[in-house]
Homo-oligomer: A and B are copies of this chain.
Amino acid sequence: MLSFIGLGLYNERSLTIQGREALADADEVFAEFYTSYLAGTTVSELETTHDIDIEVRDRAGVEQHPEPILDAAADGHAAFLTGGDPMISTTHVDLRLRAIDRGIDTRIIHGTTVQTAASSLTGLQNYRFGKATTLPFKRSHGGAGVPESVLDTINANAERGLHTIVYLDIDRENDEYMTGDHAAALLDDAGLDQVAVVIGQAGSDDPTVSGGRLATLRSQSFGDPLHLLVVPGDVHPMEEDALRTLAGIPEDAL
């Protein structure tokens, strides 16, 4: 049996009770933190809190050499941990299909995600979000500024009045996380003259939610990683109230 367990948003306590029970039952526990990452904890805190040993696999150790994980799952109960929800990345879907192909039972234990938190923390309604996009570091896409696809997504959503979640690049190798001000500067320089909201430390006891024009946000700071940026589309009166109260967006900015 291979249990894919989502660790949720932020720290060692973001896991569900169902997930914790599955961990207690597992014979071997693997994890990957290259597609996602829990900013509020460490591997050793996870191990201590849940009384487990975790074998952290890098990208090659999941995608090119998944055999140790699959062998453990064929012989007993293996757990595979990821931040957020376990199937957010194609790499996990691939691992699941390989397991099924070997006749191994699989199951998914869901985790909390920033996708939902983006709506919850801003008060923007979840059914009014369009397609999401990811803003990469310049060096990651080898181009200058903002890839056309990012602007296209924001604009196509805006045409339908929809909000856009902009995931910010994570460079685990260099331990760098794109900040909200960095993202606001990139988008502002790309000519996007709009209001946005930056969320920091989602899932923690004290997340930050800060809104304003991109030109203003670019010179603010939003605390520890991870950050996320939301570009609102048309806002309903309740959403407008929420943005003012929760994100501190000034009267004249909306």
- Residues of A at the B interface (CB closer than 8 Å) are 6, 8-9, 11-18, 20-21, 85-88, 90, 93-94, 96-97, 100-101, 107-108, 110-113, 115-117, 119-121, 123, 125-134, 156, 160, 162, 167, 202-203, 205-206, 238, 241-242, 245-246
Contacts and interface: CB of A to CB of B under 8 A. Distances in A.
Contact of A160 (B12, B107, B115, B131): B131
A109 B182 CA distance: 28
Q: How many copies does the complex hold?
A: 2
Contacts of A13: 16-18, 21
A115 B112 contact: no
A115 B110 CA distance: 11
Contacts of A111: 112, 116
Given A110-B203, A238-B93, A115 B115 contact: yes
A9 B110 contact: yes
Contact of A87 (B12, B120, B130, B160): B120
Nearest to A22: B205
A116 B119 contact: no
Contacts of A203: 110
Indicate the member of A13, A110, A113 with the most B CB atoms within 10 Å: A110
The 3 tightest CB contacts between A and B, nearest first, are A87-B120, A110-B112, A13-B17
A16 B107 contact: no
